[in-house]
Structure formats: C-alpha cells, structure tokens
Amino acid sequence: MTALNNDFNLSAASHLRRSVVEVEQQVSPNAGVTISNHTVKARIGFRGKGAIAFLREQGVTIPEKPNQATFSGGFAVLRLSFTEIWLLDIESDSNETFEPKQKSKSEYIAALESAAKNSPDVYRLFCQHSHALFSFNERDKGTLANLFAKICGVDLRESVFPSGSIAQTSVARVNAVVFKQVISEKTERYYLLSDISSSEYLWDALVDAAGEF
C-alpha cells in the first residue's frame, strides 16, 4: 500500500472529474422544467470543530444555522450540520475569474484545500468525486414544487421552504441534498446533490417525473 502523499491536492486535479450522466441539459416536453448537470464543477467540503472558524478566516460567509445555504460569487455555501460546510461552484463558467481573489473557482477551491491541511480540527470531505449535482429551472412558479412533490416526502413549497433552505432526505428513494435559490419573484431554482453511483438512475427518474410539465 502506498502512503498518502500529503502534497496531493484533489481539488487541483480538475481533469479527473467525471460525470456518470453524459447529458448536460434536458428540457421537459412542454418546456416547463429544465434540468442541468453540474457534476464536474468544483466543490469542496469541510467538517470538524474548527471548520467554521477556518472558513471564516478565509473570508467565506457561513449560514447561521444548519440546513441553510447562502449564495455569492457564483458559489453556494451549504451548512449541512453544526460543523459541516460545503462550497459548490453552481453557476457560471468554472474558468472565469472572480473578484476579489483573481482566481478561477477551481483555483480558489484548491487553495482552500491546501490551507485546510494544517488547520486543527478541520477535516476535508471528498465530495467532489462522490456526488452528482443537478439543477432545476422552472418556467412558471410552483412547477418545481409540484415536480418534487411526486418524488420527495418533504414539503418544498415556498411557504415552508424559502430560498436558502436545505432538505437532506430521500428523492426517488435515493439519498439526496436538495436546496433552493429564488431567482426572481416568478421563478425558483432547485439544486440536488446525490451519490454519484446512482446518479444515472436518478437523472432518468427526474426526467421521467418532469415529463408532464
């Protein structure tokens, strides 16, 4: 068995990222829902008693409570428990530089991974290669809530699940993390993280569920 090379930075190896689902985007038959595949975009997770303090030192804004998300600079910051944070590149081109760091998002996340290595009580989570990330856009408000009502037991309607909420639950019988971003008064966007090994099944199940919209 070879020893783990501590200098190796997984986040810097963007060429190793793979998506099991080969489709990048799928529009439902009546154009009510668009599902996009963001699996190969950069993401990173940290856990441990020192994780929140470490990320605040790095200038990351952390949601106040577990199961809340914030969005800034093309990133989503998910607080998945009291001491677990994930940063996801969710929107624009991963090679685009962003202020004020003057780095691409992949470089920024790779730098975070390096900085975490010597921080006490901060444990790196290998969510880059373990999870698939899909997004859902709707043409008319309420469509996605109806879509998810078919496949998820948690009520995701606006009244009880506002923008920035996270639900860690089962979607189409597969474990998933669902979070919501309100884009405008008229539309919402949902994101779904799920284990990559079952992502091909889940993609087909989601496309099937969207078939009526």
Partner 1 sequence: MKLMNCPLNGPRNISEFVYGGEVRPMPNQATCSDKEWADYVFYSDNNIRIVKEWWFHSPSGYWFIAERHTASDEIVKTYDSSELFSERVEFNAPDDQPAPVLQTEGLK
Answer yes or no whether residue 156 interacts with partner 1 by CB under 8 A.
no
Answer yes or no whether residue 196 interacts with partner 1 by CB under 8 A.
no
Structure-block tokens of residue 13: 């190896």
Beta carbon nearer to partner 1, 25 or 175: 175
Answer yes or no whether residue 192 interacts with partner 1 by CB under 8 A.
no
Beta bridge partner(s), residue 169: 176
User: What type of residue sits at position 200?
Assistant: E
The answer to whether 58 and 72 have CB atoms below 8 angstroms apart is: no
Beta carbon nearer to partner 1, 97 or 175: 175
Report how far residue 205's alpha carbon sits from residue 210's, in angstroms, rounded to the nearest whole number: 9
Among 56, 57, 72, 82, binds partner 1 (CB under 8 A): 82
Contact range with partner 1 by CB under 8 A, out of 8-16, 97-105, 166-174, 197-205: 166-174
What is the smallest separation between the CB atom of 7 and partner 1, expressed in angstroms? 25
Answer yes or no whether residue 153 interacts with partner 1 by CB under 8 A.
yes
User: What type of residue sits at position 133?
Assistant: L
Among 116, 133, 176, 206, binds partner 1 (CB under 8 A): 176
Report how far residue 73's alpha carbon sits from residue 92's, in angstroms, rounded to the nearest whole number: 9
Answer yes or no whether residue 78 interacts with partner 1 by CB under 8 A.
no
Total residues in contact with partner 1, by rule CB under 8 A: 14
Structure-block tokens of residue 80: 């998945």
119 SS3 class: coil
What is the smallest separation between the CB atom of 51 and partner 1, expressed in angstroms? 14
Report how far residue 59's alpha carbon sits from residue 128's, in angstroms, rounded to the nearest whole number: 21
What is the smallest separation between the CB atom of 44 and partner 1, expressed in angstroms? 16
Answer yes or no whether residue 169 interacts with partner 1 by CB under 8 A.
yes
User: Could you tell me the CA-to-CA distances from 191 to 33, 38, 95, 133, 179 in Å, in that order?
Assistant: 13, 10, 21, 7, 5
Beta carbon nearer to partner 1, 69 or 110: 69
Beta carbon nearer to partner 1, 1 or 31: 1
Range 36-75, binding partner 1 (CB under 8 A):
66-67
User: What type of residue sits at position 160?
Assistant: V
Structure-block tokens of residue 55: 């990320």
Report how far residue 125's alpha carbon sits from residue 193's, in angstroms, rounded to the nearest whole number: 14
Residues that bind partner 1 (CB under 8 A): 66-67, 80-82, 153-154, 167-170, 175-177
